[in-house]
Amino acid sequence: MIGWSKGDRVCALLNGGGYAEQAVVPARQLLPVPGGLDFPQAAALPEASCTVYANLTLKAHLRAGQWVLVHGGGSGIGTMAVQWAKASGARVITTVGTHAKIGRVMRLGADVAVNYRSDDFVTRALDATGGRGVDAILDIAGAPYLRENIECLGPDGHLVIIGGTLAPTELDLGLLFSKRASVATTSLRSRPPDQKAAIVARVHKYMWPLIEQGVIAPVIDTVLPMPLAAEAHEFLHSGRAFGKVVLVTP
C-alpha cells in the first residue's frame, strides 16, 4: 500500500460498519493518528472533521471575518465546527439545548451561544451581526427551523442542511430571493469514493496540522465498551452528551 506501512497508527473515514473489531477501508480514506492522541480520541476525528470541512469550507465557502451559525454546538459535529470556524478566522454563533452547555461552547471559541429552548436564536444572530445576518449556517435540525434559518441569513448567505427532520416543509422563495441566498443539503456517506478521498486529503492538509498543534481537539463526553452500543445511543438521544460518545472494543 503506497504511503502506509504495517503497524502505522491510523484512523479513517469509513463507508459504514464501524461497530467492529476490524474494518476494511480504502487507503485514500486513511488518516494518521495525530501525535499525542490515543485511539478513542482519534476515532472521534475523521467523520466530524470531514463533515465540517466539506460543508463549512467547500459548500458554504466560509472565510475569515465572516459570521457563521452552527446549530447543535454541543454535538460531535458541532464541537468540531465551532473550533474549525474559529480557527478559520470566522465569528461563531452557536445553539445548544441546555444552559450548562453555553459556557463549554464558549470555551471552544464561540462568540455567541444561545439556548434555543429558552431564547430566540434569530434575534440573537441578527443582534450579533448588527442586523445584517450570518454568512453561513450549518444546520442539523432540518425542516422545523427552515424559515428561521433563512431569516438569519445575510446577503448571499449559505444554509447547509446536513441532517435532522427531513419531512416536507414550506420554503419562502421570496425571502430567499431577497437575500440572494442558497439552501443546500448534503450527505458525506453517500458521496462516491473519489469525492471522499479528496475531502480526506484536504482535511489532512488543512485541519490535521491544527489538531497536531492542539488548536483543534476532539471533544469526547464518554467512552463505552462496544457491548453497550444501545446505551450509548440512548445517551446521545437524551441530549445530555457534550461532544462525541466513543465505543471501544473490549
Interval 64-82: pLDDT, tens? 999 999 999 999 999 999 9
Three-point CA angle 67, 72, 73, nearest 5°: 60
User: Which H helix or E strand runs over 42?
Assistant: helix 39-43
Q: Is the pLDDT of residue 44 over 90?
A: yes
Supply the DSSP symbol for 163: S
Q: Which three cell numbers stand for residue 147?
A: 424559515
Nearest to 92 by CA among 80, 101, 100: 80
Predicted confidence (pLDDT) per residue in 129-162, tens digit: 999 999 999 999 888 999 999 999 999 999 999 9
Q: Which CATH superfamily is domain 60-185 in?
A: NAD(P)-binding Rossmann-like Domain (3.40.50.720)
- pLDDT at position 10, please? 97
Sequence-ordered list of residues with C-beta below 8 angstroms from that of 198, at least 6 positions apart, any chain: none
- Diameter of the chain measured on Cα atoms: 57
Give the architecture-level CATH label for domain 10-47+191-248: Alpha-Beta Complex (3.90)
Domain segments of the chain as ranges = 10-47+191-248, 60-185
Residue 105 has φ and ψ, to the nearest 5°, of: -75, -30
- pLDDT at position 168, please? 86
Predicted confidence (pLDDT) per residue in 183-228, tens digit: 999 999 899 999 999 999 999 999 999 999 999 999 999 999 999 9
Residue 200 has φ and ψ, to the nearest 5°, of: -60, -40
- pLDDT at position 1, please? 67
Total-model pTM: 0.95
The reply to whether 60-185 shares the fold of 10-47+191-248 is no
